[in-house]
Structure 1
Amino acid sequence: MAFKVIKPGLLALIQDLGRHGHQSIGLTTGGPMDEVAFRWGNALLDNDSNSAQIEITFGMFALEAQDDTSIAITGADLAATLNDKSITPWQTYAIKQGDVLAFHQPVWGLRAYLAVKGGFHCEPTLGSVATVVREKIGGLTGKGDKLQKGDVLVYKACSDHQQRSVPRLAIPHYGNKEIPVILGYQCQSFSSLERANFFSSDYRVSSNSDRMGYRLEGKAVHSDLKGIISEGIAYGAIQIPKDGQPIVLLQDRQTIGGYPKIGCVTRVGGSILAQQKPGDIIQFTPITVDQAERERHLQMARLAQWR
């Protein structure tokens, strides 16, 4: 009643929807970088929306099934194979004892999600199993360790499989390089010219990007503020440090920061951004809070209708 890790890959982590309510003591939320893909993985299997999954970054990850179950794969296409036969994401698959599931290098996207019927069984830490390596919390050991060769991922065996796939219109378009941004209350400290430069320029994803944040390289933008008193950091906040190169703070972000922020990437936009690889080019586009809320409600309504 488990998967055994054969190849650990570059970075494979146990995640749920995150560890909430603890930022006051300096603990970040963690959780899936691509929340849309994560939620669809659980929906395909009729799991609770918070059931634990594996987030696989870049691939090179393989497991062997110890018992029958059903799985769902969503997110990036990491050239997955089941017993050496190619399979595609955004649908479910029946797994038999002894089957080998492998993820290779990306065809498109960067992060894939592996859900199992009933979710992976892990002991939560502060109410969540979300793995945050930097804070040494969550995951299989409770100490923030990424998955290693020989790890055993427990699930409840299941022989009742239902073939399902996500509707085409609900699958995110990871080739869309326009990332929606809500302007923040500090945006007035950026001149009209600086804001125009920010929204009209191409930005390259830096190799120095991770689950904490995406560092971008491109047209520098500058604020009239020399610095601010450190304050709480929201998901998707776009910090502008002294060199003018934006940093989009994501799931493993620090809880406070002292750089001016031009705005905030939406949840849906953050999911698209998290699938971009170092070297990929993106652009930012401004939207209103109302537009962001409608976008969010549409995503959640599609999931609710499916369920």
Structure 2
Amino acid sequence: MSVKVIQPGLLSLLQDGGRLGQHRIGLTNGGPLDPEAFHTCNRLLQNPEGSTAIEVSFGGLQLEAQVDTFICLTGAIMTLRINQQEQPRWEVLPVTAGDSIHIEFAEQGCRGYLGIAGGFDVEPSFTSTATVMREGIGGLNGDKLAAGDVLPCPAGEIRQRLYLEEHLQPKYEDITTVRVIPGYQQKHFNRYQQRRFFSHGYTVSDRCDRMGYRLEGPAIECDIEGILSEGICFGAIQIPADGQPIVLLNDRQTIGGYPKIGAALSLDCARLAQLRPGGQVHFAPITQHAAHNALHLANSFQQRLTFKERRA
């Protein structure tokens, strides 16, 4: 009962909900860069929350089913084909042993999530199956998927053919606004530098990965060159010596010594992680109170999100 990797694509990683509570031993979170698409995939498949799925970056993944089961693809616009026939995304689809599954390269966005009924059956490492290549943990061997890998999965129990209506599916653009909660080091950036940061656009550089997104644009100056290394939160926006912001994401280091102008709202980090090199980013300040409200509203929307069922 498994799925075999024929071609792994540019970067395909097994991810669950993330490796939480392990910073004290130097391990970062991992987990999906776009939690909304990841969790919706598992909800559509009626899987337990956080079940292991494949995060497909940029596309190119080809698999062969070796068991009768159900799959679902969410996230970036990547054409999905089963036995060369194009299939809908954001929908639960049956596959049978011997079927080929092909995810083509992304047309918009860059992170897709391929889930399977019951989730992939992978042994946890430090409480999680999330793959963090820098640390060599999670997944099958702490590394990205490779041709010939065999991904165990449970027997495919019958699933409702649920789907998410198109008007409710997220829209992925080449430009996004990231809301920023100020941090205690913001005082080290004078008012002119803060205005400069929030009033200009930045471009996603080609040095963007699961650790963080390096941006290119107007350089930001700080009145301190470095700080004693300290814990780094998800979404922290570091300003290194060259003045070019780095937004730290799931696979970030657990400590660092660059000054930080603030932290990106977690909701917006998902949209940022869907940008490809050349994408445009604008920053907007937000209070802690407004950030809490935004998170509560987003959680409420997800809880109220309902699916349709495809009838045979």
Please tell me the TM-score bracket, short chain as reference: over 0.9
What stretches of structure 1 of length at least 5 have no aligned partner?
none
Residue 174 of structure 1: aligned partner: 172
Q: In the alignment, does 2:217 pair up with 1:191?
A: no
Please provide the CA RMSD for this pair.
Answer: 1.5
**Cα offset, 1:229, TM superposition:** 1.1
The alignment of Structure 1 onto Structure 2 pairs a total of residues equal to: 305
TM-score by length of 1: 0.95
SS at match of 1:206: strand
The one-letter code of the counterpart of 2:254 is T
8 Å contact kept, 1:10–1:57: yes
| CA deviations over 1:233-274 (Å, ceiling 9, x no partner) | 000000000110000000000000111101111121010000
8 Å contact kept, 2:20–2:29: yes
Q: In the alignment, does 2:72 pair up with 1:84?
A: no
Residue 240 of structure 1: aligned partner: 239
Residue 100 of structure 1: aligned partner: 100
**Cα offset, 1:159, TM superposition:** 5.1
The one-letter code of the counterpart of 1:94 is P
**Cα offset, 1:26, TM superposition:** 1.2
Residue 17 of structure 1: aligned partner: 17
8 Å contact kept, 2:117–2:159: no
Residue 267 of structure 1: aligned partner: 266
Residue 45 of structure 2: aligned partner: 45
The 1:168/1:199 distance shift into structure 2, 3 A limit, reads farther
SS at match of 1:296: helix
Structure 1 stretches of 4+ moved >4 Å: 167-170
Q: In the alignment, does 2:72 pair up with 1:72?
A: yes
Q: 2:158 aligns with which of 150, 157, 160?
A: 160
The 1:89/1:291 distance shift into structure 2, 3 A limit, reads farther
Residue 113 of structure 1: aligned partner: 113
Q: Percent identity?
A: 48
8 Å contact kept, 1:43–1:306: no
Compare 48-57 and 221-230 and name the one that shifted more.
221-230
Residue 26 of structure 1: aligned partner: 26
8 Å contact kept, 1:170–1:302: no
Residue 305 of structure 1: aligned partner: 304
The 1:246/1:155 distance shift into structure 2, 3 A limit, reads same
8 Å contact kept, 1:34–1:275: yes
Q: In the alignment, does 2:253 pair up with 1:258?
A: no
Query: What CA distance in whole angstroms lies between the structure 2 residues aligned with 1:184 and 1:90?
Result: 37
Query: What CA distance in whole angstroms lies between the structure 2 residues aligned with 1:20 and 1:111?
Result: 22
Query: What CA distance in whole angstroms lies between the structure 1 residues aligned with 2:214 and 2:298?
Result: 27
SS at match of 2:208: coil
8 Å contact kept, 1:12–1:56: yes
**Cα offset, 1:117, TM superposition:** 1.0
Compare 159-168 and 87-96 and name the one that shifted more.
159-168
SS at match of 1:186: helix
TM-score by length of 2: 0.94
**Cα offset, 1:13, TM superposition:** 0.5
**Cα offset, 1:17, TM superposition:** 1.2
The one-letter code of the counterpart of 2:154 is K
**Cα offset, 1:298, TM superposition:** 2.5
The 1:79/1:169 distance shift into structure 2, 3 A limit, reads closer
**Cα offset, 1:61, TM superposition:** 0.8
**Cα offset, 1:87, TM superposition:** 2.6
**Cα offset, 1:172, TM superposition:** 2.7
**Cα offset, 1:205, TM superposition:** 0.6
The 1:201/1:128 distance shift into structure 2, 3 A limit, reads same
8 Å contact kept, 2:15–2:54: yes
Residue 126 of structure 1: aligned partner: 126
